[in-house]
Amino acid sequence: MNAWPRQPFVGLTLAAVVGIALADRWPNCSFWPIALTLALAVLALLARRSLGVYALVTAAFFYIHSVAHTNSAGQKLAQQLGGSVTVVTVEGMVLSEPKIAPNGFASFVFALSSIETDGASRPCNARVFARWKGTPQFGDDLKLFGTIQPIPPPRNPGEFDMRAYLARQDLRDELVARYAENGQIVRHTGGNRLLQAAQTSRRWMQHVLARGLEDSPAVSGLVEGMVLGLRHQTPEDIEEPFQQTGTLHLFAVAGLHVGIVAQLLWTLATVARIPRKWATALIIPALLFYATVTGLHTSSVRAALMASVLLGGYFVERRVFALNSLAAAAMLILCWDTNELFAVGFQLSFAVVGTIILLSDPVFRILRRSCAGDPFLPRSLFGPGRRTLDKLLWWLTRAAAVSFAAWIGSLPLMLRYYHLITPISLLANLLVIPIAYCVLAGGLLSLLAAPITTWLSLVFNNANWAAAQLILGIVHLFAHVPDGHLYVEDLHWPDGARAEINVLDTGTGAAVHVRSGGHDWLFDSGGRRDYERFVRDYLRSRGVNRLDGLLLSHGDAAHIGGAAGVLLDFKPRLTVDSPAHDRSRAHASFTATLAQQHMAPKLCSAGDELMIGGHVTARVLFPPRDFVGDAADDQALVLQLFIDGRPRVLFTSDSGQEAEAVILASGVDLHADVLIKGQHHSGTVPSSQFLEAVRPQVIVATSRDFPPWEQVSDDWAAFVERHHVKLFRQDQSGAVRLRFFRDHYQADPFLAGDTFRSSNR
């Protein structure tokens, strides 16, 4: 039995990970960690034991991470600003390549050199996340006038936490220069010469790869994304099927990409008869530059470092182990920035490759035994057909083993960060990766041919067009395979709730998720931007793959602008709408979309009832049939939700006094424990008479500073408080979760405030 080879970087990297994780949880920059580090260093040298070395590495990385991320420049600036919105004039340099949004704002990392507040200027070495409606370039020195404030936290469950993501880069504040004239480019310095050269090279490569594909932007974006790792060039509606089929890794420059580049360069060096060591000395810098061109993402840096270590074995003429090389790459990245340990890309990249190294060979041997021929039959007796079949089976089993190992390695992290299981990826990768190999090779050959001959570069680009179209067809086909991908909620202990209602914070709009007995309904979808930004992600984080129902309250675009996306992504079994006519373009567009899909909504008016499912039913209180209001808000659906037969929730949307008068005149019992309301466009609030009829214990109300009528007034908030009603203003509380049990219910704000429990009253 062969002994396990010595792979020292594996243990050292694990020790570094332990030290960083401990420091992130309990940072400490006092004298004791330094003393402990020095003591361990002495013991390690004296004892010459591996355990002492590992303890030293753990202590060293604990101290490094604590120092780097305790009382940093970004934290000092945030403390000085005091967490408020401050008008400032700043100078500094653009540290990242600006990304231009559709509204014209350029966003980038901005390294400050000075900051002026209240007429006093002082030096500053912090970095901020800046947005300016100008045209900056990487390395430019700028002078900006605007407001600076803390980066806001997420306001809804399932929403991407941009504040935590940027905090890992020590970006604590956001600078906004609203107009182009609020800033000026002091000078074009170019910044880091290597990064400037890489970005210039990337722009040239993009131009070459897109040549001849101008009429196919989707294909062009796909090729650029695969060859250069430019995911932002790929439309989201194209990228999403790749995520659902487990093939999104094609857009992350990693081992496959770097391996093709290395193989191509090695072939060219062999044809040119360059000695092996000289070829290695040329290829390693080229691979590192390729990683820089593609954006220095973790996967590309890891692959380039691994390849460099493996190729470096030629210099020392020693065997290099893949797992040790992987650990060495991780150690180098963590030495550069310990916060990389907490990046999703870092975790996915190293988990997948590590699992492939450890698991693919054992799986391959199992699969190979199941399809191999008779081991006692001499191979010389095999005919040409049998030998061809044997080679094909060998390739298939090897590819299947790698695909399975990669899937196993990524599964825990995909569940943790994306709430997604993609069993279809086991088959999709077998078909897509060989074609992707051809696209990558064709793209690189196009780049090599472009300086010499344009027509040959165009030939490769057109070949890539055909291959990319084939990939898109396969991916879209597999993305629609039933149960090929599933969104799964985080594991949690059942709490016994009979119904759960999540009132998401969509600003001036609304999106309310109702769940009971395994049934999921969505009341309104939020605006299109809100739906794409967090409503869709929230539903997926809750494991919703299909909605039982979608209810539209009225034609306000802030309420139903994302409804078309809901149809596409969650295919609701039933769509409920109001029969009232309005002039809303969003409503008309959604109705046209339904007609195109040969679907008709269920039109509900006062007196109708809906079976939400589980323990929940709904009664429509407003509008009456043939009711005509002056504006869309006056025609909003009003629902009373019954849980276990008891009226518990009143959902009034943006209805105003006209709706209140009609409902009160109907004589219906309005009692509900919880009132969920929006703001009427007139700025009026529910009348005292209406509130006395409802007698709520809890009110969840949308509230925003602008426009003024969308804000809960202080006078009305005080009125509610005098009546001993718990008010959750969503400008302060964010989303609110309501859970109803057999004998009580409770309301939990997402951002701030106390949990309300009905049993406490």
Asked if residue 285 and residue 353 are part of one domain, the reply reads: yes
Asked if residue 232 and residue 250 are part of one domain, the reply reads: yes
Q: Give the pLDDT band of residue 761 (cuts 50, 70, 90).
A: very low
Q: Name the strand (E) or helix (H) holding 561.
A: none
Asked whether residue 684 is assigned to any structural domain, the reply reads: yes
Structure tokens at 292: 């820089």
Asked if residue 475 and residue 506 are part of one domain, the reply reads: no
* DSSP per-residue string spanning 41-91: HHHHHHH--HHHHHHHHHHHHHHHHHHHTSS-HHHHHHHHHTTS-EEEEEE
The contacts of residue 625 (CB under 8 Å, 6+ apart) are 579, 605, 606
CA distances, 497 to each of 382, 643, 646, 741 (Å) = 66, 11, 15, 5
Asked if residue 651 and residue 617 are part of one domain, the reply reads: yes
Q: Give the pLDDT band of residue 718 (cuts 50, 70, 90).
A: confident
> Do the Cβ atoms of 439 and 471 come closer than 8 Å?
yes
In whole angstroms, give the CA distance from residue 20 to residue 333: 13
The count of domains in the chain is 4
* Side chain identity, residue 624: P
Task: Give residue 642's Cα distance to chain centre.
Answer: 36
Q: Please return the burial class of 494, using the count of CB atoms within 10 Å of its CB with bins 0-12, 13-18 and 19+.
A: exposed
pLDDT in tens, 632-645: 778 889 999 999 99
Instruction: Look up the CATH number of the domain holding residue 629.
Output: 3.60.15.10
pLDDT in tens, 57-110: 888 898 889 888 888 899 999 998 888 899 999 999 998 888 888 888 999 999
- Cβ–Cβ contacts within 10 Å for residue 644, how many? 15
Structure tokens at 337: 């920035």
Asked whether residue 145 is assigned to any structural domain, the reply reads: yes
Asked whether residue 489 is assigned to any structural domain, the reply reads: no
pLDDT at 403: 86
Asked if residue 62 and residue 93 are part of one domain, the reply reads: no
Burial 386-414 (b: 16+ CB within 10 A, else e): eeeeeeebeeebbbbbbbbbbbbbbbeeb
The contacts of residue 530 (CB under 8 Å, 6+ apart) are 506, 507, 509, 511, 558, 561, 562
> Do the Cβ atoms of 478 and 709 come closer than 8 Å?
no
Asked whether residue 3 is assigned to any structural domain, the reply reads: no
Report the candidate in 249, 198, 197, 210 with the shortest Cα–Cα distance to residue 447.
210
Question: Which range (26-40, 167-181, 486-500) has the least confidence?
Answer: 26-40
* Side chain identity, residue 498: R
Q: Which domain holds residue 23?
A: 8-68
Asked if residue 98 and residue 221 are part of one domain, the reply reads: no
Structure tokens at 661: 């008068």
Task: End-to-end CA distance of the chain: give it in Å, rounded.
Answer: 71
Asked if residue 691 and residue 668 are part of one domain, the reply reads: yes
Asked whether residue 283 is assigned to any structural domain, the reply reads: yes
pLDDT at 5: 59
Going across the sheet that includes 674-677, the strands are: 609-613, 616-622, 638-643, 646-653, 674-677, 698-701, 726-729
pLDDT at 614: 84
Asked if residue 679 and residue 534 are part of one domain, the reply reads: yes
Asked if residue 521 and residue 382 are part of one domain, the reply reads: no
Which of 428, 450, 479 is the last residue in one of the domains?
A: 479
Cis omega before residue 623 (within 30°)? yes
> Do the Cβ atoms of 328 and 9 come closer than 8 Å?
yes
Between 469 and 273, the higher pLDDT residue: 469
pLDDT at 1: 41
Q: What is the mean pLDDT of residues 195-211?
A: 83
Asked whether residue 224 is assigned to any structural domain, the reply reads: yes
Which of 435, 451, 479 is the last residue in one of the domains?
A: 479
Q: What is the mean pLDDT of residues 201-219?
A: 85
Structure tokens at 119: 């007429």
**Roughly what angle, to the nearest 10 degrees, separates helices 563-570 and 585-596?**
30
> Do the Cβ atoms of 93 and 139 come closer than 8 Å?
yes
With the C-alpha atoms ordered 158, 159, 164, 165, is the resulting torsion angle positive or negative?
A: positive
Asked whether residue 123 is assigned to any structural domain, the reply reads: yes
Structure tokens at 630: 């002056």
Asked if residue 584 and residue 455 are part of one domain, the reply reads: no
Asked if residue 685 and residue 672 are part of one domain, the reply reads: yes
pLDDT at 374: 59
Cis omega before residue 707 (within 30°)? yes
Q: What is the mean pLDDT of residues 560-569?
A: 93
Which of 191, 219, 241 is the last residue in one of the domains?
A: 191
Residue reference for tokens 């009711």: 627
Asked whether residue 488 is assigned to any structural domain, the reply reads: no
Report the candidate in 601, 664, 603, 656 with the shortest Cα–Cα distance to residue 631.
656
Asked if residue 236 and residue 89 are part of one domain, the reply reads: no
Structure tokens at 490: 């985080």
State the DSSP code for 755: P
Instruction: Look up the CATH number of the domain holding residue 157.
Output: 2.40.50
Residues in the chain: 761
- Cβ–Cβ contacts within 10 Å for residue 692, how many? 10
Provide the pairing of β-strand 549-551 with 575-577. parallel
In sequence order, which ranges of 571-713 are alpha helices (DSSP H)? 585-596, 657-666, 688-694
Question: Which range (15-29, 168-182, 226-240) has the least confidence?
Answer: 226-240
> Do the Cβ atoms of 424 and 246 come closer than 8 Å?
yes
